[in-house]
Amino acid sequence: MAQHLDDLHDWFWRRLASRARAPKNGIVEFQEPKTERLLEADICIVTYCGFPGGNAVTTITEAQTFRDAGYDVAIVNCSIKKSRWKWGWVSERYLAVSDLMYLGHRLRRISCRTAIIRGPRMVTTRNFERLAKKMCPERAIFVINNSAYNEDGSAIFSWADLHERIGALGWPAVEICPTGPIIRAECLREMPAEEIDLSDRDWPPVIDASAFQFTPRSQLSEPIVIGRHARDHPGKWLDERAELLRVYPDNDPSIRVSILGGAETVDRDLGGIPCTWSVAPFGLNSVQDYLSTLDIFVNFPSPSRHEAFGRTIIEAILSGLPVILPSRFEATFGELAFYCAPQEVRNLIGKIAADDPGRMVFLQRAKEVATDLFCSPSLLLRLDARTQNQKPVLDGAAARWRQTILSSL
């Protein structure tokens, strides 16, 4: 009877939705073929599956990694939308793992050994409150994968409210894990120390190393091709045109700028796209194909952006690219990248490009460390709650070469 009533309810809302606005590109209505009302799994990943970017890629990679290791895995969509007729909307990326997918509002009971609950905004919704009453995990890992604030300073969630909601669940074993040092530091700023209940370890996004071919350039010659890939958003660009052009020059014949993901923000708000830049939208080429055209990955988002992690940076390292970033990223990526101010980027590019043998040694070791810390095998180790954070540190010739480059700036 419960199944029939839910089916009738969803049919009504779908009919109503058919008269309203359709999902935007990249979002589909998930037609759940399953009739089970009781879900039992070793690992249950609960998240809002309507985000098409990094959250989707990370969730799918985690699920596939666990499944390949022999675990019984489920992905449960908990919508952040208030309208019921949107509760089945998910990113089309999830169609690749549709056999693992469930719609949270159609389940009566969820039993699992480990629940990985990703998305602080989702946790503060009424939909998650309803879903949590159906869940009985032996332990739960809450992954805080974004800042509490938008770039304009508006609130996405409250750290105090998040702690209160999680504490009120009464589950037997709960861990609150930031994705990295930047989010951890934000929590420490926002709450009194005695009220913070963060785990000692982070839960960074996991990346499938096999999706990125390690092809470092054995020689670099001018023009050096630099760039980065990201969705076009004001938070992804520096705020001032002068600063932007120090990082991505418009009149330096020794450097060519290639951007994937569009640059309408630059065109609209920052004085126009330089005619010497090459800009492509997402969809024309795969990320791997794009990275294979670069010599150095350079990523300088707005200082006001609270970047939780930055999986594109690890993707670049896995592809064999040197990476240049603002210094605030050092807490997350340690010795895997180079850090400088915008006015130092041009000089740093020259130093990196000038020593081919040293660069190749560095890139090989950086790739090995990135694989150990941020790729699929590391995920399985995290199931052991005793696993501790490891800093991205190099050793030997790779560490010495990196230090020599930075000391020469």
Predicted local confidence at residue 23, as pLDDT: 74
Higher pLDDT, 377 or 305: 377
> 205 pLDDT band (50/70/90 cuts)?
very high
Predicted local confidence at residue 193, as pLDDT: 84
User: Does the structure show a pLDDT above 80 at 352?
Assistant: yes
Burial status of residue 383 (CB atoms within 10 A of its CB: 0-12, 13-18, 19 or more):
middle
> 280 pLDDT band (50/70/90 cuts)?
very high
The chain-wide mean pLDDT, for the chain, equals 91
User: Does the structure show a pLDDT above 70 at 36?
Assistant: no
Domain-wise residue ranges, the chain: 37-195, 209-407
pLDDT in tens, 84-93: 999 999 999 9
pLDDT in tens, 103-132: 999 999 999 999 999 999 999 999 999 999
Structure tokens, 292:
């294979």
pLDDT in tens, 297-314: 999 998 877 777 889 999
Q: How many helices (H) and strands (E) does the chain have?
A: 15, 14
Predicted local confidence at residue 227, as pLDDT: 96
Q: Concatenated DSSP letters for 362-403?
A: HHHHHHHHHHHHHBHHHHHHHTSTT---------HHHHHHHH
252, 249, 244: which is closest to 303 by C-alpha? 244
pLDDT in tens, 145-170: 999 998 778 899 999 999 999 999 99
One fold for 37-195 and 209-407? yes
> 409 pLDDT band (50/70/90 cuts)?
confident
Q: Which residues pair with 249 in a beta bridge?
A: none
User: Does the structure show a pLDDT above 60 at 281?
Assistant: yes
Predicted local confidence at residue 196, as pLDDT: 87
Residue owning tokens 């420490």: 188
Contacts of 231 (CB under 8 A, 6+ apart): 53, 261, 262, 282
Q: Are strands 27-29 and 101-103 parallel, antiparallel or unpaired?
A: unpaired
Predicted local confidence at residue 10, as pLDDT: 57
CATH class of 37-195: alpha beta
Q: Which residues pair with 373 in a beta bridge?
A: none
Predicted local confidence at residue 231, as pLDDT: 83
CATH class of 209-407: alpha beta
User: Does the structure show a pLDDT above 80 at 285?
Assistant: no
Residue owning tokens 């992954």: 143
